[in-house]
Amino acid sequence: MRFLFVLLSVACCHVAAEDGSQAWLRYAPVPKASEYHSLPASIVALNNTKTSPVYVAGQELEKGIKGILGKQLGVDGTSKASSSIVVGTAEAYKKAYGEFEEADELEPDGFFLSTEGSTVLIIGQNERGALYGAFEYLSRIAQQKFSPVSYVSNPHAPIRWSNEWNNMDGSIERGYSGPSIFFRNGFVVDNVTRAAEYARLLASIRINGIVINNVNANATLLSERNIEGLGSRLADAMRPYGVQLGISLNFASPKDFGGLSTFDPLDPAVDAWWANITNKIYARVPDMSGYLVKANSEGQPGPLTYNRTLADGANMFARAVKPHGGIVMFRAFVYDNHINESNWKNDRANAAVDFFKDLDGKFDENVVVQIKYGPIDFQVREPASPLFSTLRKTSTSIELQITPEYLGQNCHLVYLAPLWKEILNSDLRADDKPSKVKDIVSGQRFSRPLGGWAGVVNVGTNSSWLGSHLAMSNLYAYGALAWDPSLESEDILGDWIRLTFGFDARVMEVITEMSMKSWPAYENYSGNLGIQTLTDILYTHFGPNPASQDGNGWGQWTRADKFSIGMDRTVKNGTGNAGQYPPEVAARYEEIETTPDNLLLWFHHVNYTQKLKSGKSVIQHFYDAHYEGAATAQTFVPLWESLQGRIDDERYNDVHFRQVFQAGHALVWRDAINQFYHNLSEIPDDHERVGNHPYRIEAEKMSLNGYKPYKVSPFHTASGYTAIVTTTNATVGTASANITFASGTYDLAVNYYDLIGGKAQYSVSVGNRTVGTWTGDLEDKLGHAPSIYLDGHSATRITFRGVKVAKGETVTIVGRPNGIEPAPIDYVSFLPSGIVD
Ligand SMILES: *[C@@H]1O[C@H](CO)[C@@H](O)[C@H](O)[C@H]1NC(C)=O
Ligand SMILES: *[C@@H]1O[C@H](CO)[C@@H](O)[C@H](O)[C@H]1NC(C)=O
Ligand SMILES: *[C@@H]1O[C@H](CO)[C@@H](O)[C@H](O)[C@H]1NC(C)=O
Ligand SMILES: *[C@@H]1O[C@H](CO)[C@@H](O)[C@H](O)[C@H]1NC(C)=O
Ligand SMILES: *[C@@H]1O[C@H](CO)[C@@H](O)[C@H](O)[C@H]1NC(C)=O
Ligand SMILES: *[C@@H]1O[C@H](CO)[C@@H](O)[C@H](O)[C@H]1NC(C)=O
Ligand SMILES: *[C@@H]1O[C@H](CO)[C@@H](O)[C@H](O)[C@H]1NC(C)=O
Ligand SMILES: *[C@@H]1O[C@H](CO)[C@@H](O)[C@H](O)[C@H]1NC(C)=O
Ligand SMILES: *[C@@H]1O[C@H](CO)[C@@H](O)[C@H](O)[C@H]1NC(C)=O
Ligand SMILES: *[C@@H]1O[C@H](CO)[C@@H](O)[C@H](O)[C@H]1NC(C)=O
Ligand SMILES: *[C@@H]1O[C@H](CO)[C@@H](O)[C@H](O)[C@H]1NC(C)=O
Ligand SMILES: *[C@@H]1O[C@H](CO)[C@@H](O)[C@H](O)[C@H]1NC(C)=O
């Protein structure tokens, strides 16, 4: 009895914990529910077939209205329309009720929503459109947008797909949220519950296709058992949500998997093989959207293997899917990753245009060339790819990454809509006419029948979908922009915040501020002036390692030396990349004076002393931006803490953990990049911050027992270039130092390295008082690509606030190694209030 009472009281009085699985479809009760006066009495879904998106729309409306407004409405197949919510296709509506005036204004997937009369009308051009309209209506009431409206909404482009880089073994390339929801141990999963939930989420943001496997594709996807799984499980699970399945192909499948002696696209046997397997797949998945192909890129096989053109390769697949109404998304990410840096004119950024320009007009009508937004690879800042304006007789789509491979891997907050909008709004001035990227990929600018959007999402099994609750704004924004790229980043964010966290004004203010500042902050501390994300391109793409950009064939070069930095992409003296743009834009990028500062080092090789338009030198801008960006990241922690109690503890704590991590890792970035260029250029920081850390005690300068100094590589990822590690993997290490700072209260920060492959244990004490203990287990909590080294990926910080310290006391750290993790420590900081270092 007593036990029951306790349980009930807990249930009644706490905000329910939320694990993020419902994302923006929480259907939480709204405070002003009683102000919605004109809610109809019933729901009419004009299709009784359970697999119909219209039927699903009816169910979704029932569920949503019950959650949001607390009203249980029945769903009916046909009844009369007065005082109902009617959802269906235009055709079904006309059949049931006669006239439907707006039918002519609807495009495929579009919908009409009217809440003006006693009947709410949600009419789709097709079944999918009806479902989109239902989600739109629910989104409105969930945000208390109760005023009557009546409008038609049509998509910006027909192709709005997600790409999921899932491997057959269940791992995900560049996935930060646990293993795959689609594959396990080489096969399609048996339990497709999560796949269906994901399809629902995608439908609610109007994504109409999903390519479920990695572009670095494994031909075993084509086995009987997997084709069966694609059809009878995955496609069936997603079809009710109007999400069409697509797959990535390995170009060499006929040989590696089919037993042919060749995969030459012009060999009739190869052609027949593809036609055959394609027919087989369509027999199981009659509405498959088509294929995605990465060929002749980063070691992948392709048509060039046989001296055939990329168009020959793409068209082979196009012929196979054509009878089934399928399309082929052919990636433009084709380049040679063994180019020689000693040739000043070599440039990976030229590759896409070089490979594709002579093929314009040679692709079949159902081929779409899928182009990454910039010429290199999802960097923190790139100009729009010049290929968008090169292909005039070919349908194109833009490829974006929701999974932030180069932008903090969901351990740093980076709201991406502002970055995407810069690209989408870039006017490439083809033929000196307005030619915004968004109007090119919609098919409008060059009058193409197809076109659209591909977003690499990489959801995983973690309940939060992306590993980070705040990162979900990126998925939401992707869907919103793919439907309507004229939306403003902050407006999209506002909708997402209300739907995800509710109506608290402080919550809105804080998440908006953090999100809108997040991309500029990340750019500031990762790579400025168009130099790219200065991460480790040879390893995990997470932490800093500017030296890794150069001296290899990958072509993400900075050409930094003692005096100068940047890629000379001019026509007059460099790689000629600027000349790949139409004349107006080419002329702008050709000259330093007309190149915007934020792309200066993308297009020009200049001295560190080169003055920017701001009046600062390049090197001083680097130093200042890194300090500024890292300082901004610190502010996210107290901002977030001001929300404690205003949102559920589960999501509060998870985000808090990530923001604290980001604040620490932003300092790792700041110091690594600044130390690197300071060391290289030997130009001092005007403000004397770089290399000067008065609040730090370097671990290697402490009294060590069981610990030894360790030269970290890359050197700039350790303060003073050196850390300490235990002398053996079984020795407990002790590092201590006398405190020479004035007595007072400090935040005590310890910078250490958290490697995968071990969970070292630490404790820190001052005098004889234990300040804190912790375990090096971030690999279980963060989800970013891990490292087995002491480097910029594993470097991190833990902070203990408000520690009372007397001058002359001893600070002691005890580290217990575990596995391959030798309890590594870089330094200890005693930070007076307001100081960040
Ligand atoms: C009902 O939905 C099913 C499945 O999507 C579809 O095949 C059928 O054409 C729909 N019927 C009407 C009348 O729209
Ligand atoms: C392809 O998948 C099979 C089955 O899971 C696996 O044995 C093989 O190693 C994979 N091949 C590649 C290149 O990943
Ligand atoms: C399928 O997966 C869902 C979601 O992860 C889970 O709740 C359910 O129990 C699973 N079903 C079976 C039969 O394992
Ligand atoms: C097509 O597939 C069937 C089995 O599904 C096989 O019997 C036939 O030989 C295949 N034909 C070609 C040309 O590969
Ligand atoms: C491809 O063409 C080049 C030049 O046209 C020729 O030298 C080379 O032998 C050809 N390679 C193959 C595999 O046919
Ligand atoms: C790169 O080019 C330089 C100069 O032509 C040459 O000396 C060097 O061997 C080349 N490097 C490679 C890896 O081919
Ligand atoms: C999701 O990941 C977080 C850490 O990122 C972890 O705390 C949580 O337990 C995970 N949840 C699930 C359901 O795996
Ligand atoms: C022109 O190119 C050469 C390399 O060929 C380079 O050393 C030089 O700095 C460039 N000049 C200018 C003004 O950028
Ligand atoms: C760049 O620096 C080099 C080395 O100090 C110097 O020779 C050169 O004149 C400088 N170029 C410009 C444009 O300032
Ligand atoms: C602290 O200072 C005392 C007196 O100078 C010295 O004997 C001792 O070794 C120092 N301890 C550490 C840990 O440096
Ligand atoms: C810690 O040191 C203080 C002063 O030196 C002493 O009074 C106290 O008993 C010590 N506490 C412990 C737990 O050793
Ligand atoms: C320490 O390293 C040795 C040799 O590499 C290894 O055999 C042993 O298992 C390791 N011990 C621990 C505690 O990891």
Residue located via tokens 């890794």 = 548
Whether the predicted pLDDT of 358 surpasses 50: yes
List Cα–Cα distances, 534 to 243, 513, 528, 685, in angstroms.
37, 25, 9, 20
pLDDT tens-digit map of 609-668: 999 999 999 999 999 999 999 999 999 999 999 999 999 999 999 999 999 999 999 999
**Mean pLDDT in residue range 811-825:** 98
Q: What is the pLDDT of residue 119?
A: 93
Is there a single domain that holds both residue 745 and residue 774?
yes
Asked which of 658, 681, 704 is the last residue of a domain, the reply is 681
Q: Is 22 contained in some domain?
A: no
Instruction: Supply the residue whose CA is at minimum distance from atom 12 of ligand 1.
Output: 47
Q: Is the CB of 607 under 6 A from ligand 9?
A: yes
Residues forming beta bridges with residue 828, ordered by sequence position: 697, 750
792-829 residues labelled b (16+ CB within 10 A) or e (exposed) = bbbbbbbbeeebebeeebebbbbbbbbeebbbbbbbbb
**Mean pLDDT in residue range 423-433:** 98
pLDDT grade, residue 17 (50/70/90)? confident
CA of 770 to the centre of ligand 11 (A): 12
**Mean pLDDT in residue range 299-310:** 96
Ligand with smallest separation from the Cα of 262: 5
Whether the predicted pLDDT of 1 surpasses 50: no
Is 377 among the residues known to form the active site? yes
Q: What is the pLDDT of residue 76?
A: 81
pLDDT grade, residue 37 (50/70/90)? confident
With a Cβ cut-off of 6 Å, ligand 1 is lined by 47, 49, 51-52, 89, 92, 127
**Mean pLDDT in residue range 182-208:** 98
Q: Is 1 contained in some domain?
A: no
The larger pLDDT score, comparing residue 466 to residue 74, is at 466
With a Cβ cut-off of 6 Å, ligand 8 is lined by 344, 568, 573, 605
Residues 6+ apart with CB under 8 A from 776: 752, 753, 754, 755, 758, 759, 760, 761, 762, 818, 821, 823
User: For residue 648, how many other CB atoms are within 10 A of its CB?
Assistant: 16
Domain that holds residue 734: 696-831
Q: Is the CB of 168 under 6 A from ligand 2?
A: yes
Of 262, 276, 280, 281, best ligand 4 pocket probe by most atoms within 8 Å of the beta carbon? 276
Ligand with smallest separation from the Cα of 303: 5
Q: Are 478 and 397 in contact (CB under 8 A)?
A: no
CA of 563 to the centre of ligand 9 (A): 7
Q: Is 779 helix (H, G, I), strand (E, B) or coil?
A: helix
Instruction: Supply the residue whose CA is at minimum distance from atom 12 of ligand 7.
Output: 462
Q: Is the CB of 20 under 6 A from ligand 7?
A: no
Percent of the chain topping pLDDT 70: 97
Report d(CA 576, CA 556) in Å as an integer: 16
Ligand with smallest separation from the Cα of 809: 10
Q: What is the mean pLDDT of the chain?
A: 96
State both tokens at 258: 């089919």
List Cα–Cα distances, 387 to 20, 174, 374, 567, in angstroms.
38, 25, 9, 19
Instruction: Supply the residue whose CA is at minimum distance from atom 1 of ligand 10.
Output: 738
pLDDT tens-digit map of 342-352: 999 999 999 99
Residue 407 amino acid letter: L
Closest CA to 483 of 435, 423, 442: 442
pTM of the full predicted structure? 0.96
Is there a single domain that holds both residue 163 and residue 128?
no
CA of 767 to the centre of ligand 12 (A): 33
Is there a single domain that holds both residue 710 and residue 757?
yes
pLDDT tens-digit map of 196-212: 999 999 999 999 999 99
Residue 21 amino acid letter: S
Q: Is 123 helix (H, G, I), strand (E, B) or coil?
A: strand
Is 427 among the residues known to form the active site? no
Range of weakest confidence among 8-22, 428-442, 453-467: 8-22
CA of 219 to the centre of ligand 2 (A): 8
Is there a single domain that holds both residue 339 and residue 426?
yes
Q: What is the pLDDT of residue 80?
A: 67
Is there a single domain that holds both residue 651 and residue 700?
no
Is there a single domain that holds both residue 305 and residue 347?
yes
Whether the predicted pLDDT of 815 surpasses 50: yes
Asked which of 653, 681, 709 is the last residue of a domain, the reply is 681
pLDDT tens-digit map of 732-763: 999 999 999 999 999 999 999 999 999 999 99
Q: Estimate to the nearest angstrom the gap between the alpha carbon of 748 and the chain centroid.
A: 33
Ligand 3 nearest atom to the CA of residue 461, by list position: 5
pLDDT grade, residue 82 (50/70/90)? confident
pLDDT grade, residue 81 (50/70/90)? low
Is there a single domain that holds both residue 137 and residue 251?
no
Instruction: Supply the residue whose CA is at minimum distance from atom 6 of ligand 1.
Output: 52
Ligand with smallest separation from the Cα of 459: 7
CA of 558 to the centre of ligand 2 (A): 35
Q: Is 486 contained in some domain?
A: yes
Active-site pick, 18, 399, 405, 422? 405
Q: Estimate to the nearest angstrom the gap between the alpha carbon of 28 and the chain centroid.
A: 26
Residues 6+ apart with CB under 8 A from 567: 347, 349, 557, 558, 559, 574, 575, 577, 601, 602, 603, 604, 605
CA of 193 to the centre of ligand 3 (A): 6
Is there a single domain that holds both residue 412 and residue 473?
yes
Q: What is the pLDDT of residue 9?
A: 38
Q: Is 103 contained in some domain?
A: yes
CA of 774 to the centre of ligand 7 (A): 19
Ligand with smallest separation from the Cα of 54: 1
CA of 702 to the centre of ligand 10 (A): 10
Report d(CA 752, CA 799) in Å as an integer: 11
Give the number of domains in the chain. Answer: 4
Is there a single domain that holds both residue 164 and residue 81?
no
Q: Are 290 and 329 in contact (CB under 8 A)?
A: yes
Q: What is the pLDDT of residue 288?
A: 98
State both tokens at 329: 């998304």
Query: Domain with 581 in it: what CATH number?
Result: 3.90.1330.10
Instruction: Supply the residue whose CA is at minimum distance from atom 9 of ligand 12.
Output: 819
Q: Is 595 helix (H, G, I), strand (E, B) or coil?
A: coil
Q: What is the pLDDT of residue 79?
A: 65
pLDDT tens-digit map of 675-716: 999 999 999 999 999 999 999 999 999 999 999 999 999 999
Asked which of 153, 178, 201 is the last residue of a domain, the reply is 153
With a Cβ cut-off of 6 Å, ligand 3 is lined by 191, 193-194
Of 563, 564, 619, best ligand 9 pocket probe by most atoms within 8 Å of the beta carbon? 563
- For 174, half-sphere exposure in the C-beta direction (CA atoms, 13 angstrom radius) is 21
pLDDT tens-digit map of 467-486: 999 999 999 999 999 999 99
Is there a single domain that holds both residue 254 and residue 399?
yes
Ligand with smallest separation from the Cα of 170: 2
Is there a single domain that holds both residue 493 and residue 554?
no
Percent of the chain topping pLDDT 90: 96
Active-site pick, 127, 377, 654, 821? 377
Of 337, 340, 345, best ligand 6 pocket probe by most atoms within 8 Å of the beta carbon? 340
State both tokens at 732: 């407990």
Q: Is 41 contained in some domain?
A: yes
Q: Is the CB of 819 under 6 A from ligand 12?
A: yes
Q: Is 356 contained in some domain?
A: yes
Q: Is 76 contained in some domain?
A: yes
Q: What is the pLDDT of residue 152?
A: 98
Q: Is 531 contained in some domain?
A: no
Active-site pick, 116, 228, 298, 431? 298
Whether the predicted pLDDT of 125 surpasses 70: yes
Residue 567 amino acid letter: M
- Please give the DSSP secondary-structure letter assigned to residue 806: -
Q: What is the pLDDT of residue 637?
A: 98
Is there a single domain that holds both residue 216 and residue 356?
yes
The larger pLDDT score, comparing residue 1 to residue 559, is at 559
Whether the predicted pLDDT of 2 surpasses 50: no
Ligand 3 nearest atom to the CA of residue 197, by list position: 4
Whether the predicted pLDDT of 4 surpasses 50: no
CA of 208 to the centre of ligand 2 (A): 29
Q: Is the CB of 738 under 6 A from ligand 10?
A: yes
- Please give the DSSP secondary-structure letter assigned to residue 553: T
Q: Are 387 and 330 in contact (CB under 8 A)?
A: no
pLDDT tens-digit map of 450-462: 999 999 999 999 9
Report d(CA 184, CA 169) in Å as an integer: 5
CA of 740 to the centre of ligand 10 (A): 11
